[in-house]
Amino acid sequence: MTVLATRLRGFGTTIFAEMTALAQRTGAINLGQGFPDTDGPAEIVEAAVAALRAGHNQYAPATGVPALKTAVAEHQRRRYGIEVDPDEGVLVTFGATEAIAAALLGLCEPSDDVLTLEPYYDSYAATIAMAGGRRRPVTLRPPDFALDPDALAAAITPATRLVLLNSPHNPTGRVLDRAELELIAALCRERDLIAITDEVYEHLVFDGEHIPLVTLPGMAQRTLTISSLGKTFSLTGWKVGWASGPPPLVAAAATAKQFLSFAGGTPLQHAAANALGRADVHGRRLAAELSAKRDRLCAGLEAAGLAVHRPAGTYFVNADIRPLGESDGRAFCWSLPERAGVVAVPTVAFYDDHEAGSHLVRFAFCKRDEVLDEAIVRLRALTPRS
Ligand code: PMP
Ligand code: GLN
Helix, strand, coil percentages in the chain from 3-state DSSP, rounded to 5 = 45, 15, 40
Q: What does the alpha-carbon distance between residue 337 and residue 111 come to, in Å, rounded to a whole number?
A: 43
pTM of the model: 0.97
Is pLDDT at 360 greater than 90 in this prediction?
A: yes
Is pLDDT at 230 greater than 80 in this prediction?
A: yes
Give every CB contact of residue 269 below 8 A, 6+ residues apart in sequence: 60, 64, 65, 67, 68, 92, 240
Residue 106: CB atoms within 10 A of its CB come to 20
**pLDDT category, 386, cuts 50, 70, 90?**
low
Is pLDDT at 27 greater than 90 in this prediction?
A: yes
| Type and span of the H or E element at 329 | helix 329-340
Is pLDDT at 270 greater than 70 in this prediction?
A: yes
DSSP 61: P
Cα distances (Å, whole numbers) of residue 342 to 106, 123, 192, 357: 40, 25, 46, 20
Mean pLDDT of 216-245: 98
Find the 208 Cα to ligand 1 centroid distance in Å: 21
Q: Whose alpha carbon is nearest atom 2 of ligand 2? A: 34
Percent of the chain with pLDDT over 70: 100
Find the 178 Cα to ligand 1 centroid distance in Å: 23
Cα distances (Å, whole numbers) of residue 249 to 105, 177, 220, 311, 375: 12, 25, 11, 32, 44
Find the 167 Cα to ligand 1 centroid distance in Å: 12
Residue 344: CB atoms within 10 A of its CB come to 30
Contact 349, 332 (CB under 8 A): no
pLDDT confidence of residue 383: 82
pLDDT confidence of residue 1: 76
Ligand 1 residue neighbourhood (C-beta within 6 Å)? 34, 95-97, 121, 166, 170, 198, 200, 228, 230, 236, 239, 241
Find the 200 Cα to ligand 1 centroid distance in Å: 6
Look over the chain and give the mean of its residue pLDDT values, rounded to a whole number.
97
pLDDT digits (tens, 9 = 90+) for 290-342: 999 999 999 999 999 999 999 999 999 999 999 999 999 999 999 999 999 99
Establish whether the linkage from the previous residue to 143 is cis, with ω within 30° of 0. Answer: yes
Find the 189 Cα to ligand 2 centroid distance in Å: 32
Find the 98 Cα to ligand 2 centroid distance in Å: 13
Contact 160, 136 (CB under 8 A): yes
The answer to whether the Cα torsion of 106, 110, 113, 114 is positive or negative is positive
Q: Among the atoms of ligand 1, which is closest to the Cα of residue 231?
A: 8
Find the 171 Cα to ligand 2 centroid distance in Å: 10
Nearest bound ligand to the CA of residue 239: 1
Percent of the chain with pLDDT over 90: 97
Lowest mean pLDDT among 111-115, 216-220, 380-384: 380-384
Q: Among the atoms of ligand 2, which is closest to the Cα of residue 17?
A: 8
Find the 228 Cα to ligand 2 centroid distance in Å: 13
Q: Among the atoms of ligand 1, which is closest to the Cα of residue 94?
A: 16
Q: Among the atoms of ligand 2, which is closest to the Cα of residue 364?
A: 10
Pocket flag, ligand 2, residue 34 (CB < 6 Å): yes
Q: Whose alpha carbon is nearest atom 4 of ligand 2? A: 34
Pocket flag, ligand 2, residue 139 (CB < 6 Å): no
